[in-house]
Structure 1
């Protein structure tokens, strides 16, 4: 998992409330177990509509998504997080998230930022372009801030463990490998104290 410290760039001014995981990635995309290529199916139904924000060239490759309340509700499919990540989105900002989606996003290196609706409204304005052109948004995970060039500054809360993992680029495997020395000491002790539980080497 890549480290996530700061993210800056355009943001999709999405804003829709109660977006469930079927909207994020329709069920017919769930036949794969690969994390790559799902970006093509991300928000597929919405992208069939002319002028949708996800196919607007102004936001091509945007690393940030601004959404409405209860983002990621519905089924627990991890493919939703995979699809968002494959689309290039590293941060989703919303007033609230489904707990399951938030957990899946974290495990896939996506930062979910919870901000009040008035902050979301302001960031939507910035993303759409106050002066007619979309403006960048800056997220600093270390400082736990979301800022703009217009002197907007919003702070957000995040679980300390999740922050540690995202800053360090640590998934479950990375966390386990961080304890490799201790695991090795334990295994050596077990081999001495209870050799009958150690598999025989062929």
Structure 2
């Protein structure tokens, strides 16, 4: 998993509440078990017209936000079904950080397992960040995970809280497999001892 330490990038504003996982990645794209390739279908039903052409009014189709790495959104982001394809699609598009007042628990936890930093901030602070994001490609936010701060293009800074264990996992690029591999020495020692004590197993 990619490490997350410090990011300075374009932030896309999506001032909608209750953006659910079916909006993030519709159910027809859940057939794959690959984490790559889903970015093209991120927000598919809002992003494309019925004929398959791009909807020019959707934020991520606008020239200023095609390279967005941060998403500033409304309350209760990632609600709905527990599909892990939602963070897969977000990450595959290139978004590494989502900022919102609150999240659905399963989506929130899935973000950390996929190298995405979900930041929860009070609504009044999200409103400031939303206005900053609306400035377009010239306004770049900085997210510093070590310092736990979000800084606007004008230099205004907000602190955010994060679980220390989840923070370490992002800083070191550790998903569930990576965490297990940290214990490989102990696992191998246990298996060797078990083989000696119970060779019939």
The equivalent position to 1:116 in structure 2, one of 109, 118, 122, is: 122
| Pair 1:193 & 2:197 matched | yes
- Residue 10 of structure 1 aligns to a residue whose secondary structure is strand
Given the superposition, is the C-alpha separation of residues 55 and 163 from structure 1 closer, same or farther in structure 2, using an over 3 Å criterion?
Answer: same
The equivalent position to 1:180 in structure 2, one of 181, 184, 191, is: 184
Question: Displaced runs of 4+ in structure 1, greater than 6 A?
Answer: none
Could you tell which deviates more after superposition, 40-49 or 80-89?
40-49
Query: Partners in 2 of 1:23 and 1:134 — Cα distance?
Result: 28
2:51 alignment partner in structure 1: none
Q: Report the number of matched residues.
A: 195
2:110 alignment partner in structure 1: 104
Gaps of 5+ in 2: 49-54
TM-score, structure 1 as length reference: 0.92
- Residue 12 of structure 1 aligns to a residue whose secondary structure is strand
1:31 alignment partner in structure 2: 31
- Residue 45 of structure 1 aligns to a residue whose secondary structure is helix
The CA deviation at 1:133 is: 6.1
Query: Partners in 2 of 1:171 and 1:107 — Cα distance?
Result: 5
Query: Partners in 1 of 2:22 and 2:143 — Cα distance?
Result: 27
The equivalent position to 1:68 in structure 2, one of 55, 64, 74, is: 74
TM-score, structure 2 as length reference: 0.93
Gaps of 5+ in 1: 198-202
Asked if the contact 1:128–1:134 (Cα under 8 Å) also holds between the matched residues in 2, the reply is no
Asked if the contact 2:72–2:126 (Cα under 8 Å) also holds between the matched residues in 1, the reply is yes
Asked if the contact 1:127–1:134 (Cα under 8 Å) also holds between the matched residues in 2, the reply is no
- Deviations for 1:15-69, whole angstroms, at most 9, x for unmatched residues? 2110011110111111222222111111111113432111011112211000100
- Residue 105 of structure 1 aligns to a residue whose secondary structure is helix
- Deviations for 1:96-135, whole angstroms, at most 9, x for unmatched residues? 0000111111111111000111111111111111xx7640
